[in-house]
Structure 1
Amino acid sequence: MERVQALFDGLWKDYTQRLCPSAAKVHGLLEEGTPLLNDHIALRTFALPKVGLDRLAAPFIAIGYVPKGEYHFKAKKLFARHFEHPNPEAPKVFISELLVGQCSFELQQAVRALVEQVDDAALNDPAFLYGGRLWDIDTATYELLSGESEYAGWLSAHGFGANHFTVSVNQLSSLDEVADVNQVLRQSGFAINESGGEVKGDPEVRLEQSATMADKVTVKFSDGERQVSGGFYEFAKRYPLPDGSLYQGFVEASADKIFESTDQ
């Protein structure tokens, strides 16, 4: 587990310092004397050979992760897969990719120009997963991409990193329900993602999820700085399968709405 811990420590540091500074406040509200259990993280990328889903998965597979479920988000033109480690205490990993070939010619051109700037050698070090942006981009390109795909805009601005970590509600002792977690967060000034309802899923699909709306963070573009949506925090409660074990997968309809936590 040492290699797993090292990788997630890097992801956590980047997430809390660059993408979601409010995560520390969430911890303060929910921690009960023991560290919060992280259910999963999520990473975004473009479906192009150099930086596709398989490329992001490779460092996780190298430390024992195995591919599990596949997910299709047709309206958002996304494909995703989740990965699990043999050690059940290791967080799950959810990696999605924008199907660039299904997007407009303008978006395809812009994204390919960004990815062409990526040095192949940089992708050989697992630290690229939390290294941020490996390309230069101006605000006009960011606007073009965001106008067609919020996901493409977010990824073009931030590059690689965990767009969210996820508190396992199952572990909490004083809060049993996702709705209770939402209430605590609202009282502390957090906005909750209400797309598809503030609690996505139900016991019937064996997973309930909610999320804060993303922090606004300052991003440097080649022609200046601006504030854009960064990372958010998710909360998940898993329900048992008939054999008594907790459901470990994801629910497409719910995940589809979770993506919207980064909407501007």
Structure 2
Amino acid sequence: MHTSVESLFAALWQDYIQITPSAHAVHQLLAAEGEEIINDHVAFRTFDRAKINLDKLAAHFTALGYEAKGDYDFTAKKLTAKHFEHPNTTYPKVFISELRVDELSDQAVAIVDGLIAQIPDDAAQAKDFLYSGPQWQVSAKDYRTLLAESEYAAWMSAWGFRANHFTVSVNQLQSGLSLVEVNQVLKDNGFALNTSGGEIKGGEDVFLAQSSTMADRYQVKFSDETLEIPSCFYEFAQRYHLPNGELYHGFVAASADKIFESTNAM
């Protein structure tokens, strides 16, 4: 496992921008305006199977001092999630979700378990596990079968283990831009935004407003053919103060539910 938070996030970022060039472009666009980009959170996906479940991913962060803070349930998408924070609040929060595989059809369960069977038992302990990509072979046929049932399962089958998205902390933009203004800058520069549930999900009433780009499209070589499919996206989060004056650090399930759709194959 990594010995520092900095080295882990640096490795995750390099892997992420390889398949999400738009995030790098957004980063450069904001940096050109004099912004220093602070990450609000980084998100990961996995399956609820013992070798590679949520806890196995979380271990890489808890070993570096992160602590579990919130639990979330996405009934329609069949997901369980947790978020983690570091006592050093300058470090990004971490959001990890896992798919409740057994809630899928027998056919989909068989495909997922076939992928899991290809993973070494100790794979999750490797230093580079969180950005190791798919540790299996999968066919485009099986990808399509999963996609018909669960976009999340299909995405995992194609992309495996890596950051699903990084998130710009709008609160920490030196220019003082609001999320509405950030979205306008993105649109003015040709970036497509996720409009599921509105361009902005949440708001001051739930103490968190979020928006995101739509995922880039990238060529993936499956075992039987190559397809161009959605990869990863870039999120933007503006947090508001609670009645007690503290900044809200959690997540809003109803909003996150729509953010997941940034990787939908439109």
Class of the TM-score when normalised by the shorter of the 2 chains: over 0.9
Q: Which residue pairs with 2:111 in the alignment?
A: 110
What is the count of residue pairs matched by the alignment? 263
CA–CA separation in structure 1 for the residues paired with 2:192 and 2:141: 29
Deviations 1:46-79 (A, max 9, x none): 0111111011111101000110111110011011
Query: Which amino acid is the alignment partner of residue 17 of structure 1?
Result: Q
* Residue 33 of structure 1: how far off its partner (Å): 3.1
Secondary structure of the equivalent of 2:51? coil
Q: Which residue pairs with 2:204 in the alignment?
A: 203
**Is 2:37 aligned against 1:36?**
yes
Taking the TM superposition and a 5 Å limit, the aligned residue runs for 1:207-246 are 207-246=208-247
Q: Which residue pairs with 2:93 in the alignment?
A: 92
Taking the TM superposition and a 5 Å limit, the aligned residue runs for 1:75-90 are 75-90=76-91
CA–CA separation in structure 2 for the residues paired with 1:100 and 1:111: 8
Secondary structure of the equivalent of 1:218? strand
CA–CA separation in structure 2 for the residues paired with 1:14 and 1:219: 15
TM normalised by structure 2 equals: 0.96
Q: Which residue pairs with 1:25 in the alignment?
A: 25
CA–CA separation in structure 2 for the residues paired with 1:175 and 1:185: 16
CA–CA separation in structure 1 for the residues paired with 2:28 and 2:79: 34
Runs of 4+ displaced beyond 4 Å: none
Name whichever of 25-34 and 61-70 sits farther off: 25-34
**Is 2:151 aligned against 1:155?**
no
Q: Percent identity?
A: 56
* Residue 30 of structure 1: how far off its partner (Å): 1.5
CA–CA separation in structure 2 for the residues paired with 1:121 and 1:35: 38
Q: Contact 1:175–1:181 (CA<8 Å) still a contact in 2?
A: no
Deviations 1:154-192 (A, max 9, x none): 010000101100000001133531111111111111110
TM normalised by structure 1 equals: 0.97
* Residue 227 of structure 1: how far off its partner (Å): 0.7
Secondary structure of the equivalent of 1:120? coil
Q: Which residue pairs with 1:193 in the alignment?
A: 194
> What is the alpha-carbon root mean square deviation over aligned residues?
1.3
* Residue 2 of structure 1: how far off its partner (Å): 6.6
Structure 2: where are the runs of 5+ without partners?
none
Query: Which amino acid is the alignment partner of residue 257 of structure 1?
Result: K
CA–CA separation in structure 2 for the residues paired with 1:126 and 1:245: 35
CA–CA separation in structure 2 for the residues paired with 1:151 and 1:34: 32
**Is 2:242 aligned against 1:255?**
no
Q: Contact 1:42–1:165 (CA<8 Å) still a contact in 2?
A: yes
CA–CA separation in structure 1 for the residues paired with 2:184 and 2:153: 31
Deviations 1:114-141 (A, max 9, x none): 0010012332113110011100001001
Structure 1: where are the runs of 5+ without partners?
none
